[in-house]
Amino acid sequence: MIAKTISLLLPALLPSWRFFKTVAASPRVELRVDAGDWQEARPIPERVGLARMARRLVWNPRRNEQLYMVSLSERLAEDGRDHARAELERLVRAGLTGGERFQFRLVFLQREGTQIVKFIDYESPVLPVAEHVS
Amino acid sequence: MSLPEVVQVMSVMLGLAVAQQSAEHLAGARDRLLFLPRLILALVLVSGWQQAWVTWALFAYGVVLLHRFDGPYNGGSDKMTLLITACLSAYHLAPDTRWQEMAMAYLAVQLVLSYFVSGYIKIIKAEWRSGEALCDVFRFSAYPVSERLRGWAERPGVLWLMSWAVMGFEVLFPLSLLHPAALIGALVVAGTFHLANACLFGLNRFFWIWLCAYPSLIWFQDRVLG
C-alpha cells in the first residue's frame, strides 16, 4: 500500500513535464451491441462553437471523461492493467442505451510513413449490458 | 506581495479550481459521494477558515483519488493540482520562514520547468521542428474537440508557425524571470496558450490549475531577483 502510494505520488511531486514528446499511437474505444457494427464509444462532435467552448471552460465533464478513457486505453495497452479494463468496461456500459450484450475494443491510430494506419490492440469478451446479469 | 499574501491568494485560487474539478464529477452518479466532500473542502479553503488543516485534507484527498483512479484522472492537471496542494501543505507545516520559502520556491521552479522541459523535448525532435508533429496532433490524435478542427492538419504552414511559436516561447520562458514586467508578459502569453488548449483540446482543467501556480512565480522572481 505504501509502495503503491509512493509510486502514484512521485510523478506528481517530481513531474517530468514531457507533454507531447512524440505524437504516439492514438487510442479510440469502439463498441458493438448484440454483435452489430463497431462504432466509436465517445465520438467527438462535428463542430464546437465559441459559446460552447466558453461554457466548457467551467463545465466539461463529458470531455474530461473522454480524456480519462484515453488514459485508461493507454494504460491497458501498456501493461494490461485490470483497473483500466474494469473502468473502460464500466464507462462503455454506462453509455449504452439498449441491447443485451456488448463488446468493446481498443483501436490505435498511428503514422507509418505518409499513411495513418489503424490496429486493434485489445478486444473484450462479450459482456452483459445489465451489470449484474451473467 | 509578501509570502503570506501569496499563499492566501493561491489558496483561494486552488480552492476555486478544485471546486470546479469536483463539481464536474457530480454529473456522474458513481463518484458523487467521493467528490462531494472534496467540493465542500475546496469551498472551505476559499473561505479561508482553518486554511492549513483544509489544505492538508485536500492533499490527503488527492492521494485517495490517485488510488481510486489508479493514477491521475486528468493527467497533467491532476499532477499540478497535487503539486500545488503539496507545496501549500509543506508551507503550513514548515517550522520557520526559510522552509516556507523553500516550499514556495519549489513550486515556482517546477512551474518554470513545466514550460522549459516541455519546449525542450519538442525542439530537439525533427518532427516538431518541421511542424509535422502538430499536424499529427490535429490529424489523428484524440485531442481535438471536434471533427472540423482536424481540418487544421491540412494547413501545414500555419501549424509550422504555431509549433515554433509554442516551442520558442516555452524554451525562452525562464528568461522572463530577469525582469518583473517580462514575467507578467510571459504569464499572460502562457495563460493565453492554456486558454487555446482548453478551447481546441478541451483541457479546461489545465487552464485553471496552471493559473493557480502563477503567484508563486511572481513572488519567487521578486524574492530572488527583485
Nearest residue on chain B to A86, alpha-carbon basis: B69
Q: Is the pLDDT of residue A48 over 70?
A: yes
- The two beta strands, A115-123 and A26-33, are unpaired
B141 closest CB neighbour out of A23, A53, A58: A23
Q: How many CB pairs under 8 A join A and B?
A: 147
- Count of domains for chain A: 1
* Res A132: pLDDT: 59
Distance from CA of B79 to the nearest CA of A (A): 4
Residue B206 pLDDT? 98
Q: Does A133 score more than 50 pLDDT?
A: no
Which one of B113, B118, B136 has the shortest CB-CB distance to A23?
B136
Residue-by-residue DSSP string for chain A: -HHHHHHHHHHHHS----TTSS---EEEEEEEETT---EESSPPPS---HHHHHHHTT--HHHHHHHHHHHHHHHHHHH--HHHHHHHHHHHHHT--S-SEEEEEEEEEEEETTEEEEEEEEEPPPEESSTT--
Measured CA to CA, the distance from residue B148 to residue B160 in angstroms comes to: 19
B71 vs A8, A57, A59: nearest CB: A8
Using alpha carbons, select from A45, A61, A60, A105 the residue that is nearest to residue B150. A45
Contacts of B137 in chain A (CB under 8 A): 20, 23
Question: Using H for helix, E for strand and C for coil, what is the string for A56-79?
Answer: HCCCCHHHHHHHHHHHHHHHHHHH
Whether A8 is covered by a domain: the verdict is no
pLDDT of B179-202, one tens digit each?
999 999 999 999 999 999 999 999
Total domains, chain B: 1
User: At A1, is the pLDDT very low, low, confident or very high (cuts 50, 70, 90)?
Assistant: confident
Q: Show the cell assigned to A96.
A: 449504452
Question: Does residue A131 carry a pLDDT above 90?
Answer: no
Work out the pLDDT band at A94, boundaries 50, 70, 90. Answer: very high
Q: How much is the pLDDT for B170?
A: 98
Q: What's residue B28's pLDDT?
A: 79
Residues A90, A59: Cα–Cα separation, whole Å: 22
Smallest Cβ–Cβ distance between B144 and the set A44, A75, A81 belongs to A44
Q: Do B204 and A9 touch (CB under 8 A)?
A: no
ipTM: 0.94
Whether A16 sits inside 8 A of B117 (CB atoms) is yes
* Cβ contacts of B115 on chain A, cutoff 8 Å: 17
A6 in any annotated domain: no
- Interface probe with A: pick from B21, B66, B114, most Cβ of A within 10 Å: B66
Q: How far is B178 from chain A (nearest CA, A)?
A: 23
Residue A3 belongs to some domain of the structure: no
Domain that residue A30 falls in:
18-128
Does residue A133 fall inside a structural domain?
no
In a domain, A2, yes or no: no
Q: Is residue A1 part of a domain?
A: no
Residues in chain B with pLDDT values less than 70: none
Asked if residue A134 belongs to a domain, the reply is no
